[in-house]
């Protein structure tokens, strides 16, 4: 497991190199990118156990949609407005986010207490298995500072190519 505390510095050190790498991908190997990155995603998550990390639940937090709020409310037996008043605030982009981080649903053993009903953004993070990956490569370069799996995926991609 990569040391979470040294991860931001490590990721920033290779950031420019990764930006240049993606410029060359755009010119030469866009068609192959999704298949390769999805395989590296599987490999990284075979290696890394999120329950030993939980760094995204500690530091990033998701944007919550109205459907997320309704689902969480149903799970907690709260009305959507009660979920909002107890747990959420509106951020500078006008999106609902958790009032505070670490996430209020993160348990001390790193389990998510609303796992089955967690927000969609939590299910999809860190997005390295999505289609048309190139569209989110800049966000992914930033995510490498938070997520050890993303860091590993990008480093392996550069090595492989």
Min dist CB 35 to ligand SF4, Å, is 21
Binding to ligand SF4 in span 72-111, by CB under 6 A: 103, 105-106
- Minimal CA–CA distance to 118: which of 152, 86, 72, 155? 72
Min dist CB 66 to ligand SF4, Å, is 16
Build a one-symbol-per-residue string for 118-137: x at contacts with ligand SF4 by CB under 6 A, - elsewhere.
Answer: xx--x--xx-----------
Q: Which is nearer to ligand SF4, 40 or 53 (CB)?
A: 53
User: How many whole angstroms from its chain centre is CA 9?
Assistant: 18
Binding to ligand SF4 in span 20-79, by CB under 6 A: 48, 50, 53-57, 61-62
Q: Which is nearer to ligand SF4, 55 or 140 (CB)?
A: 55
Contact 56, 147 (CB under 8 A): yes
Angle formed by the axes of helices 15-28 and 148-160, to 10°? Answer: 50
Q: Which is nearer to ligand SF4, 26 or 123 (CB)?
A: 123
- Minimal CA–CA distance to 1: which of 58, 62, 54? 54
At a CB cut-off of 8 Å and minimum separation 6, what does 114 contact? 72, 75, 76, 105
Q: Which is nearer to ligand SF4, 25 or 126 (CB)?
A: 126
Contact 106, 60 (CB under 8 A): no
Question: What does the binding site for ligand SF4 look like in residue numbers (CB under 6 A)?
Answer: 48, 50, 53-57, 61-62, 103, 105-106, 112, 114, 118-119, 122, 125-126, 146-149
């Amino acid at each position: 497991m990569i040391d979470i505390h040294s991860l931001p510095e490590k990721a920033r050190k290779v950031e420019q190199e990764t930006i240049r790498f993606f410029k060359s991908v755009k010119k030469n190997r866009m068609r192959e990118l999704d298949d390769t990155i999805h395989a590296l995603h599987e490999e990284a998550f075979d290696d890394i156990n999120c329950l030993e990390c939980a760094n995204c639940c500690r530091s990033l937090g998701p944007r919550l949609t109205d459907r997320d709020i309704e689902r969480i409310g149903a799970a907690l037996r709260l009305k959507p407005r009660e979920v909002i008043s107890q747990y959420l605030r509106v951020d500078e982009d006008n999106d609902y986010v958790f009032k505070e981080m670490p996430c209020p649903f993160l348990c001390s053993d790193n389990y998510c207490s609303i796992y089955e009903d967690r927000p969609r953004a939590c299910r999809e993070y860190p997005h390295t298995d999505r289609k048309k990956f190139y569209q989110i490569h800049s966000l992914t370069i930033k995510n490498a500072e938070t997520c050890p799996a993303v860091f590993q995926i990008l480093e392996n991609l550069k090595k492989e190519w």
